[in-house]
Amino acid sequence: MDEKIWKELLLKNDSKIVFLIMDGLGGLPRESGGKTELETARTPNLNKFAAEGICGVLDPIYPGFTPGSGPAHLALFGYDPVENNIGRGVLSALGVDFELTGRDVAARLNFCTLDAQGRVADRRAGRIATDLNEKLCEKIRNSVQLPPEVEFFIQTVSEHRAVLVLRGEGLGGLINDTDSQKTGVPPLEPHGADEASQKTAKYVAEFLKQVRELLKDEHPANFVLARGFAKYEPMTTMEERYGLRSIAIAQYPMYRGLARLVGMTVPPVPPTYDDMWKQLKENYDSYDFFFVHFKKTDSYGEDGNFEAKVEVIETVDVWAAQLRKLNPDVLVVTGDHSTPAVLKSHSWHPVPALLWSKNARADQVSQFGERSCSQGYLGRMPMKNVLLVAMANALRFQKFGA
C-alpha cells in the first residue's frame, strides 16, 4: 500500500500500540509431526491474548525469502523491506550505536592475517579476542591520518569484526568488497562505481595503505578486509510516516540502531527484563508506539538450542502478562523472522503473529503457535501490512473514499 494513500487517511488520537517482538520467533519441530519451539512452550498469557485477538502468519519479505534482521524489522515497522534495504556497513554501524549522519559511508571490517607474500592466510585472523580488536582499533585511530576533508571512525564490534565510517561531503558507497572471500590471494583494491564512490574509494585505499604499514608486525591480525560499503540514507521517521511518537525498549545494539533509523526514541539499554518493563511503564504516557524487543529467542535458535529457545518464550510469556495492566489499545506479538533451532539460522518460514485489540474481530484461534496461527483471520500476509492493521485497530485511519 502506497504511503501517499494512507497519509491522507491518518488520524491522531491517544491510542497506544505495543509491538512485542521475539527475535527469530518462528521455528520448526525437531521430528516430523512434532512441535515447534513456540508450540512446545507453555504460554498461557500469550494464548489468552491469541484467544481474544486475531492470529496469522507473516512473510517478512516474500514467500520463500529468508530475511536479515534489518529488512525484517523494517517490515515490522511497516516499511517496504525491499525498497528500503539497508547496506550491511550501515547496519553494522547501527549495531555499535554509532550515530550516523547523511555524510557517512560505512563498511564492515574484519581483522585478517596476511602471509609473507601479502596473501590472505586467514580472513578472520583466527577470530582474535575482542580486547585485542579494541587495542588495534585504538592504534589505528591514533595513527592513521586521512586528508582534512574526510574524517574516519573505527569501532570494535566483537572478535575480528569492526566498523569503519568515513564522513565527508559528497561521499559514495558503491565500492566493492576488498574481501574476496578467498584465502591464498591478495586482498582486492577498493574501486568506486560512480564519481562520489571513486573519490571515497581513494580515501579507503589510503586508509588501508596506512593500516597495512601500521599493523605489519602484529600477529595474527596484521591487516583488515572491508566489505558491505554503504552510504547512509536517512529515512522518513515513524512520526512523519504514521504520526506515531515511537520508542524502542531493546537491549541489543542492532535493534536499537534500527529503531533509531526510523526515528524512534531509544532510551539507555535496559539491562534486565524487569528494566524493560520499567522503561515501558515510565514512558507509556509520552509515546504512541512501543517496540519491545527480546533477542534471546533468535540467539538460541542460531545456536540450535531448542530447549533454551522454549524457555525464553516462556519467560517472555510471563513478562507479557504485565501488559494487561497497561491496557494498550493494540498489542501485536510476533517475531521479525523465523530462526528454527533445527536449522541454526534465519529461515524463510512465515512468522506466527497475534494482534490483540478490543476492535479486532476475534477468530477461533486460542493458542499462540505456528499451526494454530495459520488458521486465524490475519491469514498469511506480508509482514509490512501488520502495522497498518494495528493502526486501523487503534482507530488511527479514516475511511478511504466515500
Per CB under 8 A, contacts with its own copies among 213-232 are 228
Segment interacting with its own copies, rule: CB under 8 A, options 161-169, 206-214, 218-226, 344-352: 344-352
Among 367, 289, 316, 395, residue whose Cα is nearest residue 53: 367
With binding defined as CB under 8 A, does residue 402 bind its own copies? yes
Range 34-39, long-range pairs (CB < 8 A, 24+ positions):
35/369, 36/340, 36/369, 36/370, 37/297, 37/301, 37/306, 37/309, 37/310, 37/313, 37/340, 37/341, 38/313, 38/352, 38/368, 38/369, 38/370, 39/367, 39/369, 39/370, 39/371
**Interactions with its own copies, residue window 33-72 (CB under 8 A):** 33, 36, 52, 57, 61-72
| Binding window for its own copies (CB under 8 A); candidates: 216-224, 245-253, 284-292, 363-371 | 363-371
Whole-number CA gyration radius for the chain: 23
Q: What is the DSSP letter of 193?
A: S
Q: For residues 289 and 84, give the distance between their C-alpha atoms in angstroms, rounded to a whole number.
A: 21
* 187 touches 113 (CB < 8 A): no
Helix (H) or strand (E) holding 281: helix 273-282
363 binds its own copies (CB under 8 A): yes
Q: Of 23-31, 126-134, 275-283, 292-300, which segment contacts its own copies by CB under 8 A?
A: 23-31
- 29 binds its own copies, rule: CB under 8 A: yes
Q: Supply 111's cell numbers.
A: 581483522
For its own copies, which residue of 16, 88, 241, 260 counts as binding (CB under 8 A)? 88
* N-terminal to C-terminal alpha carbon distance within the chain: 19
Question: Between the CA of residue 246 and those of 189, 243, 263, 387, what are the distances in Å?
Answer: 42, 9, 8, 13
Q: Which of 81, 173, 263, 328 binds its own copies (CB under 8 A)?
A: 81
List the alpha helices (DSSP H) in 85-194: 88-95, 130-143
Nearer to its own copies, 32 or 101 (CB): 32
Residue 346 touching its own copies (CB under 8 A) = yes
Beta bridge partners of 332: 19, 355
349 belongs to the binding site for its own copies (CB under 8 A): yes
The contact pattern for its own copies, residues 138-157, with x = CB under 8 A and - = no contact, is --------------------
What does the block give as the cell for 305? 538450542
Q: Which is nearer to its own copies, 136 or 260 (CB)?
A: 260
Number of residues lying near its own copies (CB under 8 A)? 71
Position 344, amino acid: K
> What is the closest distance, in whole angstroms, from the C-beta atom of residue 54 to its own copies in the complex?
9
Which residues between 163 and 182 bind its own copies (CB under 8 A)? none
* Shortest distance, position 361 Cβ to its own copies, whole Å: 5
Q: How near is the Cβ of 2 to its own copies at its closest, in Å?
A: 8
Q: Which of residues 366-395 bind its own copies (CB under 8 A)?
A: 370-371, 374-381, 385, 388-393
User: Closest separation between CB of residue 253 and its own copies, Å?
Assistant: 14
Q: Please, which of residues 282-311 interact with its own copies by CB under 8 A?
A: none
User: Which lies closer to its own copies via its Cβ, residue 210 or residue 385?
Assistant: 385
Span near its own copies by CB under 8 A; candidates 27-35, 99-107, 173-181, 302-310: 27-35
Smallest separation (angstroms) from its own copies to the CB of 139 = 27
Cα–Cα distance between 250 and 269 in angstroms, integer? 7
